[in-house]
A and B are shown apart, each in its own frame.
Chain A
Amino acid sequence: MARITAGVGSSHVPLLGVAHDQGNERDDYFGPIFAGYDWTRDWEKQEKPDVVILVYNDHASAFDMKFIPTFAIGCGERYKPADEGWGPRKVPDVIGHPDLAWHIAQSLILDEFDMTIINEMDVDHGLTVPLSMMFGACEAWPTTVIPLAVNVVTYPPPSGNRCWALGEAIARAVESFPEDLNVQIWGTGGMSHQLQGARAGLINPEWDNRFLDLLEADDDAVRHIPHIEYLRETGSEGIEMVMWLIMRGALGARVKTLHRHYHVPCSNTAIGHIVLEPNT
């Protein structure tokens, strides 16, 4: 039986991909950020997940304004890194897991989550930066990946409550897959950042850390934070944090914290990272 063994939360700032790709991970600026991922890179080598369900948002790369799916699941065989305007990142292609992905897609729809199904797309920094952060440089990614894209660009994005419930439904779907697979779920994006207008550069470490505390808690209060609170407190792009709730919802009522990291700044953004496991 497939099982979700851990959840990972992480920012996916594109500049982290640039730092990694150009070999600047340990300089004065990026060193303190990447140091917070060393623990996770070692841990992932032990854990060897078979599949990562990677919750992220596309940043006007695979999806433009023609189609705006709220929740979309990648059921394809493989995905290429997107050209986001400066050429594609020179990282390995992302290999999908169509058997599990289609199983999850079908299960979710029967569970009343009406998913969009993707067979072909390129994947942008939202998906490839977390892979680099967790696995470092490699010839091939050491896991298969099921991309799960969430609209957090055009309003309204899904509510935190709905994201949490989707996570719960994903966990049910994974548990009903007959093959013995070690599955992780990652929620990416955030933390506080605003990339636009006169208020750009907003950072709120107190709020971000309270959010991390709430993810660790044995209750689900975090799912009820309204959009307006993310916007006011964490900047217009801080709304990406609702995607972490899909990860958290999939882990069950109680979790154990294995690792946590927070750093300001990376470009315009506060970096947050957490590793949780179900505590049943």
Chain B
Amino acid sequence: MSHLDIHAYLAEFEDIPGTRVFTAARARQGYHLNQFAMSLMKPENRERFKADERAYLDEWAISEEAKQAVLARDYNALLDIGGNIYFLSKLFSTDGIAFAQAVSTMTDMSWPEYRQMMLDGGRSPQGVRSIREGR
């Protein structure tokens, strides 16, 4: 492992379908977005956010695009701009929805369909391991 090429290591992550690996590049891009989400750990901040989401978001150094994605609860868009799922989960909790329900919104399934897929054993890795290799 000590001679692993960092460029090759990172490049492989882009070959996984439907997945954004939380790389340093994403961590940098999403820093303030994730810190905003983290702030919702505190009950007083959750109350202030719920009372006026836009005003609360405006206190943070995050882009207008990110603010709109938060307001729309568009989790795929938030992942694209550097959001991390464990940080974004503070938003699920603030909304009082189950983690799996929030996760289902990132797929092409409804929540009941997604829940049923999990009960049936989950999503098979077949065909979604590699874009390049189509396996």
- Shortest distance between the CB of B77 and any CB in chain A (Å): 11
**With contacts defined as CB atoms under 8 Å apart, how many contacts are there between chain A and chain B in the complex?**
163
Instruction: Indicate with 1 or 0, residue by residue over A58-93, a CB within 8 angstroms of chain B CB atoms.
Output: 011100111000000000000000111111000000
Chain B residues with CB below 8 A from A85, complex form: 40-41, 46, 89-90, 92-94
Contact A228-B13, Cβ < 8 Å, known A65-B27, A154-B24? yes
In the complex, A202 Cα to B118 Cα: how many Å?
A: 9
- Would you call A228 and B123 a contact (CB within 8 A)? no
> Which residues of chain B in 1-58 are interfacial with respect to chain A, using CB atoms and an 8 Å cutoff?
1, 9-10, 12-13, 16-24, 27, 31, 34-35, 37-38, 40-43, 46
Total interface residues on B, CB under 8 Å, equals 58
Instruction: Indicate with 1 or 0, residue by residue over A123-162, a CB within 8 angstroms of chain B CB atoms.
Output: 0000000000000000000000000000001111001011
Contact A155-B122, Cβ < 8 Å, known A85-B46, A162-B1? no
Chain A residues with CB below 8 A from B18, complex form: 197-200
In the complex, A194 Cα to B94 Cα: how many Å?
A: 21
B60 CB–A CB distance under 8 Å: no
In the complex, A159 Cα to B46 Cα: how many Å?
A: 37
Please report whether the interface of chain A is mostly helix, strand, loop or mixed according to DSSP: loop
- Would you call B119 and A59 a contact (CB within 8 A)? no
Total interface residues on A, CB under 8 Å, equals 50
- Would you call B23 and A199 a contact (CB within 8 A)? no
- Would you call A195 and B103 a contact (CB within 8 A)? yes
- Would you call A265 and B1 a contact (CB within 8 A)? no
